[in-house]
A and B are shown apart, each in its own frame.
Chain A
């Protein structure tokens, strides 16, 4: 027996000196300590003051008898088991029974044999040692659980803070994220980029609980940081993948879908790696478009093999985007039947227009029928409006004529084919301008102006694309295809940009000039065309019209391959 016994404190309650002496001799030889009481009252007093490990109790005692004393001992509050062994007369079966009923554990018949006494004491010493051991384990376990509980609470607090963002309170976004355990391995993120583009991400880390939550955690900061700088989705996906690949062990990965909704240009751009289909539900509740997973999840492929290739559509009708994790469609009813994509689509079709998230929530709850989900559940519903506006939702930059900057600076940049092919030029510029104090509050406006003018210079100037393609049936997709092809084949071509911040007429203005190496276009006809000329307006003019609204001046020069914009701070 491996249990280590320790010296016991034994309380002997007996008014017969000979019996006490006999027991004392055996106990002391075994290394235990003996405390003696000669009646019930004294027994209880000593029991309380010495906390013995084991009690030998005579039944017949003067005053309070042993049975009553045992009963009172058992009534005392106690966290451990203190065995009580009765001394009984050989003919007193009734006494033995009463003693055991009163809380006794065992009995010895008087006069007890020395060997038997020794064996009993040894047996109880072993049992008590086992009790000590299990009490120690229980204490350790409780301490461990308290510690785990505390860490879990702290973890939930910190992760909750890291995951929260103002974007999740965007009026166009509704979401849910219900963990299977205290931590969710699903992640929902929403954020507005410069120029008002709404980015959302739904990520689902392999597994669940804390390890899955930790797996997905690196994504949030990267997502928000890159969205704020106006990076396109493919670059964000590449960066997220690179981060996870660097941080995660081989068998961990994160399925993710990323959506950028540009309501001004009525485009939806999507990257889906490993998540169920992303859906576009029209106002009639039908699935009008779906984007299945086209890529392996994030964190598996090395950067050289990873593809951030997105799908872009130009939508013509309002509706809602629905993103969700596989836990939603894999929710099982008590018969093991899954909700499935068809079940989810039926829920969405029946739901009122503004109640689709709620419909998913209640539908999944009905499917689970009160049982706990065994996977994390998350969903995002994004309103996709049709709005014909040509101004920014964010505040127009207030004229700051009363507080002109006195500083002046210039910056000239020139981009060749290699840079034009591989760099995100506008976010890079914006990142730089974000460092300049006076320009910080104008980031949204500057993004729109730069993105529009730069993309025009690249698409129509350097790449020679005709934006009228976009107006034809399926033209938007063909336009993007052509653009990608031309960009990949780009061997020469150049875009020069000049920035000049200076005081002008008592105000501070930023002059932007962009020159491309393309053939130019008939800018006079374009600028003179009426707003009602919808064909031209839709083809090209929407962005330019916005730039004209934002700028004090907008002028083309040469063949139309130079554009000048003056933006007042």
Chain B
């Protein structure tokens, strides 16, 4: 999975591209660790527009991100959800845990 980062004022947008599964663990963590470390960032938007697959370990990684972001008083937003990715997040009721756009 490819991750590109874009900073817009106090929002960091991490755009994911490809399969988001247990192989993405290291890349995803280093991407969000980098933006969590920046004090001027208040919100992290994860862009799923180009994600074609999401498994349960990806959900676990989102939960880890949520935990760390909350500890640093930052918000996490999930955006551009479509197709099977949207379905997986809906079944897991992640709308009750994250802001979804």
Contacts and interface: CB of A to CB of B under 8 A. Distances in A.
Contact of A274 (B61, B64, B67, B93): B93
Interface string B64-101: 10010000000000000000000000111110110000
Nearest to B61: A251
A296 B60 contact: no
Contacts of A252: 60
A163 B90 CA distance: 29
A276 B91 contact: yes
A297 B92 contact: yes
A297 B94 CA distance: 9
A251 B93 contact: no
Contacts of A436: none
Counting chain B CB atoms within 10 Å of each CB, the highest count among A250, A252, A255, A273 belongs to: A250
Counting chain A CB atoms within 10 Å of each CB, the highest count among B22, B90, B91, B94 belongs to: B91
Given A250-B64, A250-B67, A207 B22 contact: yes
A495 B96 CA distance: 37
A251 to B, nearest CB: 3
Contacts of B92: 255, 274, 293, 296-297
B22 A300 contact: no
Nearest to A276: B91
A275 B93 CA distance: 10
Contacts of B96: 295-296, 301
B10 interface: no
Contact of B64 (A207, A251, A275, A296): A251
B63 interface: yes
Interface residues of B, number: 16
B56 A296 contact: no
A476 interface: no
Given A255-B92, A275-B91, A293-B91, A207 B57 contact: yes
B59 interface: yes
Given A207-B56, A250-B67, A296 B93 contact: yes
Interface in A212-256: 250-253, 255
Contacts of B94: 296
Interface string A251-274: 111010000000000000000011
Contacts of A273: 93
A274 B61 CA distance: 16
A118 B61 CA distance: 59
B63 A250 contact: yes
A186 B43 CA distance: 36
B61 A294 contact: no
A267 B92 CA distance: 26
Interface residues of A, number: 20
Interface string A197-220: 000000000110000000000000
A296 B66 CA distance: 14
Contacts of A294: 93
Given A207-B56, A207-B57, A251 B63 contact: yes
A296 B59 CA distance: 11
A563 B94 CA distance: 48
Contacts of A301: 96-97
Contacts, number: 50
B87 to A, nearest CB: 10
B93 A253 contact: no
Contact of A251 (B57, B90, B91, B97): B57
A325 to B, nearest CB: 11
Contacts of B56: 206-207, 253, 255
Given A250-B67, A300-B97, A206 B60 contact: yes
Interface in A385-404: none
Nearest to B56: A206
A484 B44 CA distance: 39
A253 B60 contact: yes
Contacts of B91: 255, 274-276, 292-293, 326
Contacts of B57: 206-207, 251
A310 to B, nearest CB: 15
Nearest to B66: A250
B61 to A, nearest CB: 6
Interface string A286-328: 0000001111110011000000000000000000000000100
A250 B60 CA distance: 7
Contacts of A296: 92-94, 96-97
Contacts of B93: 273-274, 293-296
Contacts of A293: 90-93
Given A274-B92, A296-B97, A253 B67 contact: no
A250 B66 CA distance: 10
A296 B96 CA distance: 7
Nearest to B93: A296
Contacts of B90: 293
Interface in A29-76: none
Contact of B59 (A206, A276, A292, A295): A206
A326 B93 CA distance: 15
Interface in B39-63: 56-57, 59-61, 63
Nearest to B22: A207
Interface string A127-149: 00000000000000000000000
Given A250-B63, A255-B92, A296-B94, 13 more contacts: A206-B59, A206-B60, A250-B60, A250-B67, A251-B57, A251-B61, A255-B91, A275-B91, A293-B91, A296-B92, A296-B96, A300-B63, A326-B91
Interface of B: 22, 56-57, 59-61, 63-64, 67, 90-94, 96-97
20 contacts: A206-B57, A207-B22, A207-B57, A250-B63, A250-B67, A251-B60, A251-B61, A251-B64, A252-B60, A253-B59, A253-B60, A255-B91, A273-B93, A292-B91, A293-B90, A293-B91, A293-B93, A294-B93, A300-B97, A301-B96
